[in-house]
């Protein structure tokens, strides 16, 4: 299979993953009245680890080193979730969504420094448009900035480090091993926080169990398997731009299934995010040709 075809399949797979993550906003919002956040995270990621273990019974592709390096990415992921969750206590959900989306700006910078490669024009312009879309869609002007925003910003940095880490490790290790390292780390580290700050072991209504199972299988095991595999064929910057579609999908599912209404600024923000995606996808394909044609005409 040609590299371009693999890249296209990787992008489509990541868009599907982002759609699954978009559904979780409505699902989790509806059950957080019955289960606390760290308890939910620990149950979700520990159950995900249980579902993933049968795949590791197949010796092909399993690597203890892959699990170890996956745990490094998982540690960054856990820190991102922790800081985002604590930050939500002190800031609005709108600010949290916008600031978490700033990972799309951080990833190209971190990836460029780590790989010692310049950021391409498509990524620069695409990131700028997506950033503008996130700002229009999510930022709460009335709430302003506060301590929670700083915590959330730190969380966004760790989310971006997780994406860049997966880019660095995925060519050398199987997707299954990397995924196990990530989700097991988040689950194992979330449980002590739940035991210390919350009451995780208590009766829950059925919808909580349904939400845990759905997010464990589709939004965690399958999602991180696909991300680890897809990043063998596409860059971290590209992945970050695709992940900016998460609030677009979240908005779509909230309107369709959550009873929320669509306002103008959300539609405008979604337009700029999609424009950023298309710019990053196609600009670099024509930019070098344009430069070559300009040189040829001199």
Mean of the per-residue pLDDT values of the chain: 82
* Predicted confidence band of residue 196 (pLDDT cuts 50, 70, 90): very high
Higher-confidence residue of 216 and 24: namely 216
In whole angstroms, what is the distance from residue 106 CA to residue 163 CA? 10
**Statement: residue 60 has pLDDT above 70:** no
3-state class percentages of the chain: helix first, strand second, coil last, to nearest 5: 80, 0, 20
Q: Which of 22-26, 54-58, 181-185 has the lowest mean pLDDT?
A: 54-58
Q: How far is CA 70 from CA 44, 154, 170, 180, 254, in A?
A: 18, 21, 9, 7, 32
- Mean pLDDT for 242-268 is 77
**Statement: residue 293 has pLDDT above 70:** no
**Statement: residue 213 has pLDDT above 80:** yes
The pLDDT of residue 296 is: 44
For residue 113, report the phi and psi dihedrals to the nearest 5 degrees. -65, -45
Higher-confidence residue of 192 and 54: namely 192
Other CB atoms closer than 10 Å to residue 132's CB: what's the count?
16
**Statement: residue 187 has pLDDT above 90:** yes
* Predicted confidence band of residue 290 (pLDDT cuts 50, 70, 90): very low
Highest mean pLDDT among 180-194, 219-233, 265-279: 180-194
Chain mean position to CA 26: 16
Highest mean pLDDT among 93-97, 104-108, 194-198, 249-253: 194-198
**Statement: residue 197 has pLDDT above 60:** yes
- Mean pLDDT for 263-273 is 82
Higher-confidence residue of 3 and 252: namely 252
* Predicted confidence band of residue 205 (pLDDT cuts 50, 70, 90): very high
Reported as a single tens digit per residue, the pLDDT across 73-130 is 999 999 998 888 778 777 766 667 777 777 877 888 888 888 788 888 888 888 888 8
In whole angstroms, what is the distance from residue 81 CA to residue 34 CA? 19
Reported as a single tens digit per residue, the pLDDT across 3-27 is 678 888 888 899 998 888 878 777 8
**Statement: residue 165 has pLDDT above 60:** yes
Other CB atoms closer than 10 Å to residue 12's CB: what's the count?
12
**Statement: residue 61 has pLDDT above 70:** no
In whole angstroms, what is the distance from residue 124 CA to residue 111 CA? 13
In whole angstroms, what is the distance from residue 45 CA to residue 223 CA? 12
């Amino acid at each position: 299979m040609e590299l371009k075809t693999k890249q296209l399949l990787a992008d489509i797979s990541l868009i599907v993953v982002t759609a699954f993550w978009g559904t979780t906003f409505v699902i989790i919002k509806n059950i957080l009245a019955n289960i606390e956040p760290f308890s939910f995270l620990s149950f979700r990621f520990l159950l995900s680890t249980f579902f993933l273990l049968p795949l590791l019974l197949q010796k092909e592709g399993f690597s203890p080193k892959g699990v170890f390096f996956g745990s490094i990415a998982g540690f960054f992921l856990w820190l991102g979730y922790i800081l985002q969750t604590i930050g939500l206590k002190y800031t609005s959900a709108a600010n949290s969504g916008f600031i978490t989306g700033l990972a799309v700006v951080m990833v190209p910078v971190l990836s460029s420094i780590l790989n010692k490669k310049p950021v391409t024009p498509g990524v620069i312009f695409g990131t700028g448009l997506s950033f503008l879309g996130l700002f229009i869609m999510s930022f709460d002007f009335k709430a302003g900035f506060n301590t929670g925003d700083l915590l959330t910003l730190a969380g966004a940095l760790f989310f971006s480090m997780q994406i860049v880490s997966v880019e660095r490790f995925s060519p050398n290790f199987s997707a299954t091993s990397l995924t196990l390292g990530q989700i097991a780390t988040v689950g194992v580290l979330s449980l002590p926080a739940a035991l210390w700050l919350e009451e995780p072991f208590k009766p829950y209504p059925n919808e909580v169990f349904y939400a845990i199972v759905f997010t464990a299988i589709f939004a965690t095991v399958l999602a991180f398997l696909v991300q680890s595999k897809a990043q063998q064929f596409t860059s971290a910057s590209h992945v970050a731009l695709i992940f900016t579609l998460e609030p677009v999908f979240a908005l779509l599912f909230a309107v369709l299934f959550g009873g929320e209404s669509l306002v103008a600024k959300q539609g405008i923000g979604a337009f700029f995010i999609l424009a950023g995606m298309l710019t990053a996808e196609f600009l670099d394909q024509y930019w070098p040709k344009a430069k070559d044609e300009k040189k040829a005409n001199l």
